[in-house]
Amino acid sequence: MLLSSDLWVSALIRRAELAGAFATVARKGDARAGTVIVKAFDTSTRRARLYSEAFGPDGERLWMQPVESEFESELDAYVQRQAGYDPDIWVVEIEDREGRHFITEKVAA
């Protein structure tokens, strides 16, 4: 059984904050089943990465990097396009000096 989106997001933010990172909800989606996008910003290199929630064949939550770019504006444009397709998405932004995303599930390469 998967956690609801709001509970999963709360846990992610808590993990990040306990490790000394800053995390915030940039866009609040559907509490029960909204798709989550995580934007991890590395404050030491000034680069960001996006992680988008997906589900494996057995229903397990996993993560992929839907777009890679050295320009944060391109990542933000992707997020805006996704919000246009799905108004229920969540966007969590994390700022960490090591660039950690704090996602505990599998992240696809």
56 part of a folded domain: yes
Over residues 60-69, the pLDDT tens digits come to: 889 999 999 9
Looking at the chain, the whole-number percentage of residues with pLDDT higher than 70 is 98
User: Considering the entire predicted model, what is its pTM?
Assistant: 0.94
Domain count, the chain: 1
Report if residue 104 sits inside a domain: no
Confirm whether 103 is domain-assigned: no
Phi, psi values for residue 91, rounded to 5°: -130, 120
- Answer yes or no: is 105 within a domain: no
pLDDT greater than 80 at residue 87? yes
Question: Helix, strand, or coil here: 12?
Answer: helix
Return the structure tokens found at 77: 């444009």
Whether 106 is covered by a domain: the verdict is: no
Question: Are 50 and 64 within 8 A, CB to CB?
Answer: no
For residue 101, is it within any domain? Answer: no
**Domain that includes residue 78, residue range:** 5-96
Question: Is there a domain that residue 109 lies in?
Answer: no
The enclosing domain of 47 has a CATH number of 3.40.1530.20
Q: pLDDT tens-digit profile of 4-35?
A: 999 999 999 999 999 999 999 999 999 998 99
In a domain, 107, yes or no: no
